[in-house]
Structure 1
Amino acid sequence: MQTLQFVLALFLLLNLIAGMWRVLRGPTAADRMLSAQLFGTTSVATLLLLAQASGQSELRDVALVFALLSAVTAVAFVRRAWPGEEADDDNS
């Protein structure tokens, strides 16, 4: 079972190479952002697999930090790429 988990982690790392191609060649900013989300999700999955296979629970903590950073990055991108008009409730 441990070997299977290491093989799956390697497969996920190979998927990151494909994602890097999209980051470099993505025609739009949204394509690049989705690839960055792929990096976040794949890194979390890889770290969780490695934590389970090696028995190092510290990797689970690192995976949680990566998950939070990925979510914050997505929100920051959306706010920067599509700035909407701020609702001004004070003047209503």
Structure 2
Amino acid sequence: MTDWYFGLAILLLLSLGGALWRVWKGPAPADRMMAAQLVGTGAVGIILLLSAAAGWAMIDVAVVLALLAAFAAVGFVKAQTRGGAGDPEEGQDG
């Protein structure tokens, strides 16, 4: 079973090559951000597969990486939209 995990991790790593190309050459910043999200998701999948195959306790690392990728997406949206994409401080008086 561990051979399957290693094989799937290698296939997932190879498929991320296209996403890295899009990050590097993306025509628009949104395309680059979506590709970066794909790389983050793929990295989480690879870490989970390798931890299942090798018996490592790296599930916490995968969860932290997934959280960082989500925060990066939120930060990108707030930076790219006019007005900060619904900033909660925007509607406050004072």
Q: So what's the TM-score if we normalise by structure 2?
A: 0.88
Alignment of 1:44-83 (within 5 A): 44-57=44-57, 59-83=58-82
| CA RMSD between the two structures | 1.3
Residue 18 of structure 1 and its aligned partner are, at CA, apart by 1.0
Alpha-carbon distance in 2 for matches of 1:6, 1:55: 12
Residue 84 of structure 1 and its aligned partner are, at CA, apart by 2.1
> Which aligned runs of 4 or more in structure 1 are off by greater than 3 angstroms?
none
Residue 83 of structure 1 and its aligned partner are, at CA, apart by 2.9
> For structure 2, which runs of at least 5 residues remain unmatched after alignment?
none
Q: Deviations over 1:63-86 (max 9, x none)?
A: 011001000100000000113265
Alpha-carbon distance in 2 for matches of 1:17, 1:66: 19
Q: Deviations over 1:10-64 (max 9, x none)?
A: 011111211111111110001000000001100001100011010011x111101
Residue correspondences, number? 90
> For structure 1, which runs of at least 5 residues remain unmatched after alignment?
none
